[in-house]
Amino acid sequence: MTAKHSAPEKHASKKPAPIQQGFATRAIHAGQEPEPATGAVNVPIYASSTYVQEEIGKHKGYEYSRVSNPTRDRLETNLAALEGGIASRVFASGMAAINAVASMLKAGDHVVAGHNLYGGTPRLFNQVLANFGLTFTYVDTSDLQAVEKAFQKSTRLVFLETPTNPLMELCDLRAIAELSRKHHAEVVVDNTFMSPFFQRPISLGADLVIHSTTKFLNGHSDGLGGVVVCTTPEQAQKLAFLQKAAGAILSPFECWLVLRGVKTLAVRMLQHDSNGRKVADYLSKHKKVRKVFYPGLPAHPQHELAKLQMSGFGSMIAFETGSLANANKMLRKVGVCSLGESLGGVETLISHPATMTHAALGEEGRRKIGITDGLVRISVGIEDVEDIIADLDQALAAI
Ligand SMILES: Cc1ncc(COP(=O)(O)O)c(C=O)c1O
């Protein structure tokens, strides 16, 4: 008996919130019903590694917290409801979630992946999983013909980010999902940059959705985590098995942090988006900024697709300062914006992809996809936007 399939009434969500409910309602209520024993409005942190059993094989649905935990169950219910999946499984980090999806494959399987992904993803693929007989082809996923050409007989998975990290390239999810179905491959979308508030890949044909919950879902830069949202019971079962077998699960405390974070996801995303548009507009008019990568700008080559596929543009922006020296001059001066890795927190985070998130690609790898030494990425937070812009203005003056 595994709790995944038989969680007891007392601790389980009564039933998943219907998808018809609004996003903010689902974020606050799905899986987040008051705790029945006490009426506590917040899901408790079940800090228990094990659960008492009445006799051999007789228990309340929970046996051991690597297999399942009531706080984790609640978060998994919530995130599935937000993405429109049938279930979700949470892991210790975004990378652990990606690794779990790849662990559903077997030696000899082939993966088509975007050529511009978060740097840690190709690092996992090339430096770890390739040693176990998986093969990878990287393509510009904004080019449908290139995607079509990359399929092989053994292709099982198409791994996408849209928009990509950090160059903000989009791909047409509906078209790639159709193509992948023809080739009997599943589509996995890393939806970290948009969050389910602005983009719902399952509704466009994706089979699995991944997030680093470390980012917008948590939203407060105080915990790592990852999730895989499933569209079939088979996927949910396989991933529950991987939680139990490989053990990279999210702790009850960090599950609780995400449960708390998602309650404000809708209002945070609206503010991120509003601030993101204003900062992108400011940067696009700045004479020292050579190029701005933001799908909300009419000059972005996929602005029309962005309007179709996403319900907002978010707050991830990359911009070109011209050189490593220029990037460093400005990054040394920022104050309201914090220089650091990560994204999606309430605070504005500014980073240098070539030496941070995409260092693992090497110079040649970065050159191939267009990540220059002068590129700066900003995750616009929800501070007063005038203060963010004033900070960027004084920092850019150093160039
Ligand atoms: C788009 C994207 N996917 C996945 C990850 C990995 O997530 P984590 O750092 O939680 O392992 C990151 C991290 O920056 C990311 O930006």
**Catalytic residue (choose from 72, 89, 215, 263):** 215
Instruction: For residue 66, indicate whether it is catalytic.
Output: yes
Phi-psi region at 323: left, alpha or beta (left = phi > 0; alpha = psi -120 to 50): beta
Nearest to 332 by CA among 284, 385, 397, 380: 397
Whole-number Å distance, alpha carbon 118 to ligand 1 midpoint, is 7
Whole-number Å distance, alpha carbon 215 to ligand 1 midpoint, is 8
Contacts of 266 (CB under 8 A, 6+ apart): 23, 24, 27, 197
Residue 192 near ligand 1, beta carbon < 6 Å: yes
Whole-number Å distance, alpha carbon 317 to ligand 1 midpoint, is 16
Instruction: For residue 215, indicate whether it is catalytic.
Output: yes
Residue 109 near ligand 1, beta carbon < 6 Å: no
How would you write the pLDDT of the chain (399 residues) with one tens digit per residue?
A: 334 433 443 344 445 555 579 999 999 999 999 999 999 999 999 999 999 999 999 999 999 999 999 999 999 999 999 999 999 999 999 999 999 999 999 999 999 999 999 999 999 999 999 999 999 999 999 999 999 999 999 999 999 999 999 999 999 999 999 999 999 999 999 999 999 999 999 999 999 999 999 999 999 999 999 999 999 999 999 999 999 999 999 999 999 999 999 999 999 999 999 999 999 999 999 999 999 999 999 999 999 999 999 999 999 999 999 999 999 999 999 999 999 999 999 999 999 999 999 998 899 999 999 999 999 999 999 999 999 999 999 999 999
Residue 197 near ligand 1, beta carbon < 6 Å: no
Instruction: For residue 282, indicate whether it is catalytic.
Output: no
Whole-number Å distance, alpha carbon 154 to ligand 1 midpoint, is 27
Return the H-helix or E-strand segment holding 44.
none
**Catalytic residue (choose from 46, 51, 62, 118):** 118
Q: Could you give the strand order of the β-sheet that contains 291-293, starting from the edge strand earlier in sequence?
A: 291-293, 316-320, 375-379, 349-351, 338-339
Alpha carbon distance 160, 170 (integer Å)? 9
